[in-house]
A and B are shown apart, each in its own frame.
Chain A
Amino acid sequence: NAGVTQTPKFRVLKTGQSMTLLCAQDMNHEYMYWYRQDPGMGLRLIHYSVGEGTTAKGEVPDGYNVSRLKKQNFLLGLESAAPSQTSVYFCASSYSGEGGTEAFFGQGTRLTVV
């Protein structure tokens, strides 16, 4: 039972470098999300998608871009990494529908920008 899989699990970037985080889910969920987790701040929504080919901004979208070309995949891109983007990133997915807000999370990607 794979569920939600994130790659990579760890990454160190230099300021200004770019990278893409990949999220894959095998539950046929319509909704997918990218959150970042920082100490004392809980989980903050970066971007989300309500279906293949659609994306929308969350609470903290600046500095990130996303794409949902296939239903099972949701990519998070950093075009020019900054130290403020050092964080743990979590991808999640959920099925659609009123009240269907239970989200299933991946194991996270720990990103350090130096």
Chain B
Amino acid sequence: GQQLNQSPQSMFIQEGEDVSMNCTSSSIFNTWLWYKQDPGEGPVLLIALYKAGELTSNGRLTAQFGITRKDSFLNISASIPSDVGIYFCAGPGGTSYGKLTFGQGTILTVHP
């Protein structure tokens, strides 16, 4: 099946720092999604990318759909304590059925 490799696995940063994480796929994706999971909750969609090269922002978050269509990047600027959580990249599971394949997640800890 399709593989998504997400890095880094975890990050410990100070409040105010910028954060970058990325996701690579073993095959081409037509859609990249970035989710955030707060402790004890289900994942919630942050940003959706539908076109190679696309750069999309949502507040302090910016995500890019890689030109090769095999990678994507998520940046968080000026981190705050509520950014704590697990960030997942996701993409279509190889067909148009709508199911998603998820990366392993990046655990973000922000120290005040």
- Is the pairing of A and B real? yes
Say yes or no for B45: interface residue by CB 8 A criterion: yes
Knowing A31-B99, A94-B98, A99-B30, the reply to whether A106 touches B48 (Cβ < 8 A) is: no
A107 CB contact (under 8 Å) in B1, B31, B42, B50: B42
A5–B91 Cα gap in the complex (Å)? 23
**Contact indicator A100/B99 (Cβ below 8 Å):** no
For residues 24 through 51 of chain A, which have their beta carbon under 8 Å from a beta carbon of chain B? Answer: 30-31, 33, 35, 40-45, 48, 50
Say yes or no for A103: interface residue by CB 8 A criterion: yes
**Contact indicator B97/A31 (Cβ below 8 Å):** yes
User: Which residues on the A side are within 8 Å of B103 (C-beta)?
Assistant: 42
A101 CB contact (under 8 Å) in B1, B6, B88, B98: B98
User: Which residues on the B side are within 8 Å of A62 (C-beta)?
Assistant: none
Mark each residue of chain B from 19 to 57: 1 if its CB lies under 8 Å from any CB of chain A, else 0: 000000000001101000000111111001010000000
User: Is the contact region of chain A dominated by helix, strand, or loop, or is it mixed?
Assistant: loop
B99 CB contact (under 8 Å) in A4, A41, A48, A106: A48
User: Which residues on the A side are within 8 Å of B31 (C-beta)?
Assistant: 99, 101
Say yes or no for B110: interface residue by CB 8 A criterion: no
**Contact indicator B41/A102 (Cβ below 8 Å):** no
Say yes or no for B82: interface residue by CB 8 A criterion: no
User: Is the contact region of chain B dominated by helix, strand, or loop, or is it mixed?
Assistant: loop
Knowing A99-B50, A101-B92, A108-B42, the reply to whether A43 touches B102 (Cβ < 8 A) is: yes
Q: In this complex, which of A43, A102, A104 has the most chain B Cβ atoms within 10 angstroms of its Cβ? A: A43
Minimum C-beta distance from B82 to chain A (A): 18
**Contact indicator B97/A106 (Cβ below 8 Å):** no
24 sampled A-B residue pairs with Cβ under 8 A? A4-B42, A30-B98, A31-B99, A35-B102, A40-B9, A42-B6, A42-B104, A43-B43, A45-B101, A58-B99, A90-B43, A92-B42, A94-B98, A101-B31, A101-B91, A102-B33, A102-B48, A103-B90, A103-B98, A104-B45, A105-B42, A106-B42, A107-B41, A108-B40
Residues of A within 8 A of B (CB): 4, 30-31, 33, 35, 40-45, 48, 50, 56, 58-59, 90, 92, 94-108
